[in-house]
Every structure is written in C-alpha cells, then in structure tokens.
Amino acid sequence: DTEVTQTPKHLVMGMTNKKSLKCEQHMGHRAMYWYKQKAKKPPELMFVYSYEKLSINESVPSRFSPECPNSSLLNLHLHALQPEDSALYLCASSQVWGLAETYEQYFGPGTRLTVT
Amino acid sequence: DQQVKQNSPSLSVQEGRISILNCDYTNSMFDYFLWYKKYPAEGPTFLISISSIKDKNEDGRFTVFLNKSAKHLSLHIVPSQPGDSAVYFCAAKEYGNKLVFGAGTILRVKS
C-alpha cells in the first residue's frame, strides 16, 4: 500500500478563519512533508518531519503551523491566511534517508485551498 | 537560483514513439534523483529513481539515465502511450530528506 490520504479535498476559508489540513499514511514511513504548489509551478517544500520531530522549516510564515501527533499523522494548522496563500497543499511521506536503498517520496492527492 | 532545470516546457510525441525528457542540475552534492508524473488536480506520482552511484535504471517502459560529469539526467519512455500525457517533474535530493524539483515538462502523446 503506497497511499497517502489527505482531507479535506477542497477548503475555502476567510482570512480570519482557523482551519486544519490532515494527512495520513500507513506505510511505516518516519519522514513526512508539507509542500505548497501554485498553478504551473513545481511543488515547494514547506516543512519536513523526521521521527515526529520538525527537521526542516523552509522559512514558512507563522500563520502556517505544522504538527505531527504520531508517526502516521501530519497536520497543518492555518490561521489568518492571505489570498496569496491559495494553492494546492500536498503531503508526502518517505523512508528516512539512509534507512533504505531507495528514497521515494509518496504524495497524497492534495488539498485545494482558497483564501477569500 | 534554480538548482534543477527542465528547459523544455513542453514536448509532443506520437503514440508508440520514444519520449525523452531532460533535466539538468547544478549542485554536485545531489545524491539521488527522481522522476514524478502529475495529472491536473492530483498529487505527483513517483515513476522512477536513480542513485548517483549508478548511470542507468530501468523499470518497464521507463528508463532514467544519469550523466554525472554533465550534471544531466533524462527519462526515456518507450513506447509512449496517450495515458502518459501529463506534467513530468525531475527532482533531486539535497541534504537530509529535502527534494528540489524542476519546473516540469508537459508531455503530450498524440494518438
């Protein structure tokens, strides 16, 4: 099973709202990621969790707050977003580098976020 | 500063022929490379990968070639099928678990 699930599929929120994006994987991966993708652009890394600890934050504004409650779940809490934050938010998971011969990140289908 | 470059925004190929997608990189510290396929409104799907210690990896219709001296990799799809029409992203692993993606190439396979 190489499935990463994300909920919700679509989200519309106002600039004063608080919402959360959820991601789940059951592949035993201990690295999980949040990416942001704008139309016609490549995925842009936001956060990396390794063994449930935040290992990379790509200078993301504090209105995005990640959380990794356990090895299967990853959340992204959203607060006071701006219209320019509208994008496809992708979750991914992988083995931690060095623990396997291959290193693939498996992506979920994404959450299409619109900030009004 | 783009460390991973896909210089062809789009490629059109006849069904049954070979599709060749190219990717160049600048960072000699990259040690692992991957190709992803993406349909609209979906997440990227992993296709094939290659470690920097190899120069070729094959999986069915997909073959990736790596030329470290030229800092160049390519994805060959043979034979191309209409269902292969998608955006293809090249990605390279930097430090830790970080991937850097190229801008993508739109492949259209005509039947």
Chain B residue closest in CA terms to A5: B43
- Contact state of A45 with B104 under an 8 Å Cβ cutoff: no
Name the DSSP letter for residue A95. P
Chain A residue closest in CA terms to B51: A102
Contact residues for B29 (Cβ-Cβ < 8 A; gap 6+) = B94, B95
Q: Which residues of A touch B45 (CB under 8 A)?
A: 107
pLDDT at B55: 96
> Which pLDDT tens digit goes with each residue over B34-64?
999 999 878 999 999 999 999 999 999 999 9
Tokens representing B76 are: 């060959």
> Which pLDDT tens digit goes with each residue over A36-52?
999 888 999 999 999 99
A47: left (phi over 0), alpha (psi -120 to 50) or beta: beta
B residues 58-87 lying closer than 8 A (beta carbon) to A: none
- Contact state of A56 with B99 under an 8 Å Cβ cutoff: no
The answer to whether the CB of A26 falls within 8 A of the CB of A92 is: no
The candidate with the shortest Cα–Cα distance to B31, out of B11, B49, B15, is B49
pLDDT at A1: 60
Tell me the mean pLDDT in the region B14-37.
Answer: 96
| CA A60 – CA A39 distance, rounded (Å) | 19
CB pairs below 8 Å between A and B: how many?
Answer: 62
pLDDT confidence band for A101 (50 / 70 / 90): low
| CA A6 – CA B91 distance, rounded (Å) | 22
pLDDT at B21: 98
| Distance in Å from the first CA to the final CA of chain A | 36
Which of A31, A42, A107 minimises the CB distance to B102?
A42
Contact residues for A62 (Cβ-Cβ < 8 A; gap 6+) = none
Strands A44-50 and A53-57 turn out to be antiparallel
